[in-house]
């Protein structure tokens, strides 16, 4: 029988070699002494494909409506608003009503407004609300809505020749109509922009155009040189072909959404989207107004430029 001799020196070498290999392997997966174990920071998200000129002295603002749900989709669109503002530093946000659904208590304002738009509020964006049919008039006293206790009001842009007119379309009484006619007439600004809840033109299948309000407001807007109107109520995004020289936007899907709820037979739609929540980013520079409609997933679903209509 063959004898195998035990060689202590060789065994020791083998043991030392094994220990060295284990140490080398551990060095590959373990950090050096004192080295931080945190992962590298994630890369920032790619810029959004905005097409706005973003000029230094232009007026930059947003428009949103029918938003106060407190649901995940509202928060996601709020994140996109913050991303837009990082590239396009808008300072104002118009709301076209239905600011809160299902209550107007402190928790509603917190969960359906303050939390979803915290980044904008912390960044100094001023919100100017109008009221929808789901809103309490007491919202006019909520300080971040900048309504000053009024249910309809007007305010001027900080520097540019632009004046906004927030109407209370759920209660469009003769007194308010007289006020609107007088304020529009007294304004010498180049851009006079009314915004309110019920659309004069809409291809939304649930509500559609509000014909009585169109009859009351449209002649006034034509007379006073209005170029663009913002509304909501139908839970879609729509840009209407110019009507008597005025472009109407429906921005009613910033929180609520009725997927596919479009009447395709109206004949006045220039662009429409009923697949994602959306809001508008707007820029006015001189006699031109640029706009991008941005969706919950960060897509630019509509864009263009509108020339200011001269007063007749």
pLDDT in tens, 124-142: 999 999 999 999 999 999 9
Instruction: Check if CATH label 3.60.21.10 holds for domain 59-307.
Output: yes
**Parallel, antiparallel or unpaired: strands 191-195 and 162-166:** parallel
3-state class (DSSP) for residue 120: helix
- pLDDT at site 119: 97
Q: In the structure encoding, which two tokens stand for residue 232, read together?
A: 């909501």
9: tokens are 């020196």
pLDDT at position 221: 98
**Which residues of the chain, if any, have pLDDT below 50?**
1-36
The pLDDT assigned to 310 comes to 78
Residue of 202, 164, 199, 211 lying closest to 61 (CA atoms): 164
Q: Closest Cα partner for 98 from 134, 144, 148, 146? A: 134
How wide is the angle at C-alpha 187 spanned by C-alphas 185 and 190, nearest 5°?
Answer: 115
Compute the distance between CA of residue 32 and CA of residue 30 in angstroms, rounded to an integer.
Answer: 7
If residue 282 lies in a helix (H) or strand (E), which one and from where to where? strand 278-285
pLDDT tens per residue across span 87-96 = 999 999 999 9
d(CA 145, CA 127): 5
Q: What is the pLDDT of residue 41?
A: 67
Burial class for 178, CB neighbours closer than 10 Å (0-12, 13-18, 19+) = exposed
Beta carbons within 8 Å of 251's beta carbon, 6+ residues apart? 63, 64, 65, 96, 230, 231, 232, 237, 278, 279, 280, 293
> Domain residues of the chain, as ranges?
59-307
């Amino acid at each position: 029988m063959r004898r195998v001799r035990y060689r202590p020196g060789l065994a020791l070498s083998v043991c030392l070699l094994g220990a060295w290999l284990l140490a080398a392997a551990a060095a590959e997966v373990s950090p050096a002494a004192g080295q931080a174990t945190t992962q590298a920071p994630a890369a920032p998200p790619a810029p959004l494909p905005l097409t706005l000129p973003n000029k230094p002295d232009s007026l930059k603002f947003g428009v949103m409506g029918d938003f106060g749900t407190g649901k995940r989709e509202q928060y996601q669109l709020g994140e996109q608003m913050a991303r837009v503002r990082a590239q396009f530093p808008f300072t104002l946000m118009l709301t076209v009503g239905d600011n809160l659904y299902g209550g107007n208590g402190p928790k509603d304002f917190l969960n359906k407004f303050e939390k979803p738009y915290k980044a904008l509020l912390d960044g100094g964006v001023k919100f100017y609300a109008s009221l929808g049919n789901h809103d309490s008039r007491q919202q006019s006293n909520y300080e971040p809505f900048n309504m000053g206790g009024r249910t309809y009001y007007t305010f001027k842009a900080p520097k540019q020749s632009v004046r906004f007119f927030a109407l209370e379309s759920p209660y469009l009484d003769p007194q308010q109509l007289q006020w609107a006619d007088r304020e529009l007439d007294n304004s010498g600004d180049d851009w006079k922009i009314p915004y309110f809840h019920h659309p004069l033109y809409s291809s939304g299948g649930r509500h559609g155009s509000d014909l009585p309000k169109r009859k009351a407001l449209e002649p006034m807007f034509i007379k006073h040189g209005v170029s663009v109107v913002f509304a909501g109520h139908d839970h879609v995004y729509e840009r209407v072909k110019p009507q008597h020289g005025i472009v109407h936007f429906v921005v009613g899907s910033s929180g609520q959404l009725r997927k596919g709820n479009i009447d395709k037979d109206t004949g006045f739609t220039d662009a429409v989207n009923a697949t994602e929540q959306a809001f508008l980013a707007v820029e006015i520079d001189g006699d031109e107004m640029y706009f991008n409609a941005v969706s919950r997933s960060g897509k630019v679903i509509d864009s263009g430029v509108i020339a200011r209509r001269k007063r007749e």
